[in-house]
Amino acid sequence: MKFAKIGVATLALLGAGIAPVTLTATPADAASCSGRLLYPTIAIKKGNTTYGVLKLYYNSSTGKNCARVDRTVDYGTRKGMILSLYACGKGWSVNKCHRDFYDVGQDSGQFAKYAGPVTVNGRDRCLQVQANVQARNNSWAFYNSPLFHCD
């Protein structure tokens, strides 16, 4: 079972005004996300290099959204990864979502293959996701989404 680690992520989260949360993934979640893929995979890039891909799912029977980031460069090498999925109110800004979210799923640490999956109750909520993957030179590739899936 993977545990969200606060160490490396603390500065990134505090810099964004987010209090770190320690969460655990259940054994069923550790395998994969259920539901339908919402979008084609989203590249997490630094420059022209894709360091990871983000996959977002929605399960209409449970109302749960799920996210996972798969490492694409240095696959199998433990490097930093941070994944945060927020469920927010309709019409909110991304900044308000980070302060007043209804539900958050987070996973961070040194992972060789993927971060997540993380789940939130997304029924009748907007979502926002942040994904960070440590690059070869120990810099970071970032993806910060706008609010989406608001219907």
110: domain CATH number is 2.60.40
Whether 151 is in a domain gets the answer no
40 part of a folded domain: yes
Residues 6+ apart with CB under 8 A from 138: none
Contacts of 151 (CB under 8 A, 6+ apart): none
Asked if residue 100 is part of any domain, the answer here is yes
Q: Report the domain count for the chain.
A: 1
Domain span including residue 41 = 7-144
Residue 150 lies in a domain: no
pLDDT digits (tens, 9 = 90+) for 54-75: 999 999 999 999 999 999 999 9
The chain-wide mean pLDDT, for the chain, equals 80
**Phi and psi based region of residue 109 (left: phi greater than 0; alpha: psi -120 to 50; beta: remaining):** left
| Residue 13 covered by a domain | yes
The pLDDT value given to residue 28: 34
pLDDT band at 31 (very low <50, low <70, confident <90, very high): low
pLDDT in tens, 78-134: 999 999 999 998 888 888 887 788 899 999 999 999 999 999 998 889 999 999 999
Which pLDDT score, from 0 to 100, does residue 9 have? 36
